[in-house]
Amino acid sequence: MSELISTSIMAPLGPRRLSLGWEQAQRNVNGNVAFVADLDSKPRTRVSLAEHISNYGRIPTGMTLGMILETLKVSNLTGRGGAGFPFAKKLEAVISSSSKRVPVIVANGSESEPISKKDVALLRNNPHLVLDGISLVAGILNAKNAYVYIKDREAAATMSAAIRERRDRGLSELRITVVDSPGGYVSGQETAVVRRIEKGPALPRFSTERVASSGVKGAPTLLSNVETFAHLALIARFGGDWYRLGGVSKDAGSRLLTVVGEIERPGVYEVTSAATLTEILREAGAGSLKGLLVGGYFGGWLGVNTLADLDITLDETTLNSKRLSIGAGIIGVLAKNTCPVVEAAGIVEYLASQSAGQCGPCFNGLPEISTAFARIALSSNVDRGLTELKAVIPLVEGRGGCQHPDGVIGLIRSTVAVFSDEIKLHKVGRCSVNGASHRSVLLPNNVFASNLTGIATR
Amino acid sequence: MKLVIDPTRCQGHGTCAQLLAEYIEMDKWHYPILNHNRLKDSHLDAAKRAVSLCPELAVSILID
Ligand code: SF4
Ligand code: SF4
């Protein structure tokens, strides 16, 4: 076992806490932060299976279900798609539904958050690690079919090639199929993924059952983010205790983080939960800051007034105490001269446009919410906007077929709570960012062109 | 027993609200708001009619 660890590709990192990375020469701050890819990461060369094995060692065979579960529990691995659910529990839920039907495995790499690039980076550069994890759990669950759901074309091609390589070597009986995600914000939603795999539209489905008990064509379905499977492949090799060397105990191991916004080195970083925001932002090249969007569009804001605000670690206990969560592994950085309310309003406008149009309260309510919020952001009629929000939010919250509308409401609440001083200024027709242009920093222009002035006068 | 409405199917026809006024009111966009979902035995028949009369098959009764 220890030999395997010493051949891991993260040799430059000393205590090898970070192991998902694939670049030999990574930057590194005390073993808790490493840069692993640019936002438009192109794979250097396709990693062959042989190279992959020489990098990480072989995946152990003959692990029983009990051994895997035990190791997973020690590791405290949580899903990396956003909800952060303990993976061992999810696996147990699937097992308890698997007596009657053969379960199915789904690795979700659709990464529908426009500013997230970590899954693409992982899939383009390290497909075999994801496949290791999928094959391992397929083995213990006796699954015959697995799916990898991918939006990015190049990542899908890389993944398909890796699957072919394994099949040609006769490595396993498991049939792994790459399914194209059509993109769009809700297409990565669990039930939307399941519907797409069933050859339906990639839209959420309302269900009183969890996909763990009834997913793809009613079969028990182990669905998790692609990164979760990559971690599983490491934990199976090196053990749960090894995994806990990184991060703090409840939030062990590492995670991939997309760091974007007004910084010098946007990209994908591998971090442990013991990394502080200060360390991460130093690596990413941040200047003086207004705030951070933590967790992505369904996440929340951390207002930055002094440097001490950034002196917190990334573990969930610490983040939760600030009403934050790492969510889908995103940190969006706003510089001092950017208005966070305008940013949030642009994101809300985009999210409203992404309603799947299935549920009345969602497709009627989100545009109203978005208009009200735009009035606040543009300082045009803040009181009216606040009154409208108060009236419409209760009509929308908890009434969608999926979490989409509630996620939007969460972002608005965080903005209003964290930047209340900013909103007070907006009330008197001002903004702490004088002459702030209404460009979006955290909403790529090629994804969505925001028009707050247009919707505020709706 | 629990009353369940699938919001992805519901098209806001409102038949359910007429039959189950004690449970359901319509919002300003004419979509049903389920004020509470614990179904009383005495309302089971009305609930069953709501299930069969919803044009979108959006209403169901969940036995738990
Ligand atoms: S809540 Fe909105 S996004 Fe979710 S299923 Fe309904 S219409 Fe689609
Ligand atoms: S009857 Fe059916 S479609 Fe009509 S409002 Fe009720 S649930 Fe919706």
Q: What would the pLDDT profile of B43-63 be if each residue is shown by its tens digit?
A: 999 999 999 999 999 999 998
Q: Which amino acid appears at position A453 of this protein?
A: T
CB A110 within 8 A of CB A193: yes
Q: Which atom in ligand 2 lies closest to the alpha carbon of residue B31?
A: 5
Kindly list the residues from chain B whose CB atom is less than 8 angstroms away from the CB atom of residue A362: 7
Write out the two tokens for A226.
Answer: 């692609």
Q: Is B5 in the pocket of ligand 2 (CB under 6 A)?
A: yes
**A16: number of CA atoms within 13 Å, CB side?**
21
Chain B interface residues facing chain A, Cβ-Cβ under 8 Å?
A: 4, 6-12, 27-31, 33, 62
Phi, psi of A335 (to 5 degrees): -80, 165
Exposure letters A248-261 (e unless 16+ CB within 10 A, then b): beebbbbbbbbbbb
List, in order of start, the domains of chain A with CATH numbers: 40-244 (3.40.50.11540), 254-335 (3.10.20.600), 340-456 (1.20.1440.230)
Reported as a single tens digit per residue, the pLDDT across B9-50 is 999 989 999 999 999 999 999 999 999 989 999 999 999 999
Kindly list the residues from chain B whose CB atom is less than 8 angstroms away from the CB atom of residue A359: 7-8, 10, 31
| Residue of the CA atom closest to atom 5 of ligand 1 | A401
CB-count exposure of residue B23 (10 Å: 0-12, 13-18, 19+): buried
Q: Return d(Cα A115, Cα A297) in angstroms, integer.
A: 9
pLDDT attached to residue A9: 29
Q: Return d(Cα A431, Cα A375) in angstroms, integer.
A: 13
Chain A: give the shortest CA distance to residue B55, in Å. Answer: 15
Please state the length of chain A. Answer: 458
Q: Does the distance separating the beta carbons of A359 and B10 come in below 8 Å?
A: yes
pLDDT attached to residue A402: 92
Kindly list the residues from chain B whose CB atom is less than 8 angstroms away from the CB atom of residue A399: 7, 31, 33
Q: Is A404 in the pocket of ligand 1 (CB under 6 A)?
A: yes
pLDDT attached to residue A17: 47
Pick from B4, B12, B62: CB nearest A360: B12
**Nearest ligand atom owner, CA of B33:** 2
Phi, psi of A345 (to 5 degrees): -65, -35
CB B36 within 8 A of CB B47: no
pLDDT attached to residue B63: 87
Please state the length of chain B. Answer: 64
**Nearest ligand atom owner, CA of B55:** 2
Q: Does A405 touch chain B (CB under 8 A)?
A: no
**Nearest ligand atom owner, CA of B60:** 2
Kindly list the residues from chain A whose CB atom is less than 8 angstroms away from the CB atom of residue B4: 208
Fold category of B2-62 in CATH: Alpha-Beta Plaits (3.30.70)
Which residues of chain A fall short of a pLDDT of 50?
A: 1-17, 22-29
Q: What is the pTM of this model?
A: 0.91
A33 strand-pairing partners: A29, A271
pLDDT attached to residue A23: 42
Q: Return d(Cα A128, Cα A144) in angstroms, integer.
A: 18
pLDDT attached to residue B9: 95
* Beta-carbon contacts of residue A108 (< 8 Å; ≥ 6 apart): A81, A149, A188, A190, A193, A223, A224, A225, A226
DSSP string, A267-325: EEEEEETT-BHHHHHHHHTB-SEEEEEESSTTSEEEE-SSGGGG--B-SHHHHHHTT--
Q: Return d(Cα A198, Cα A221) in angstroms, integer.
A: 12
A175-180 sheet: strands from edge to edge: A175-180, A145-150, A104-109, A221-225
- What ranges do the domains of chain B cover? 2-62
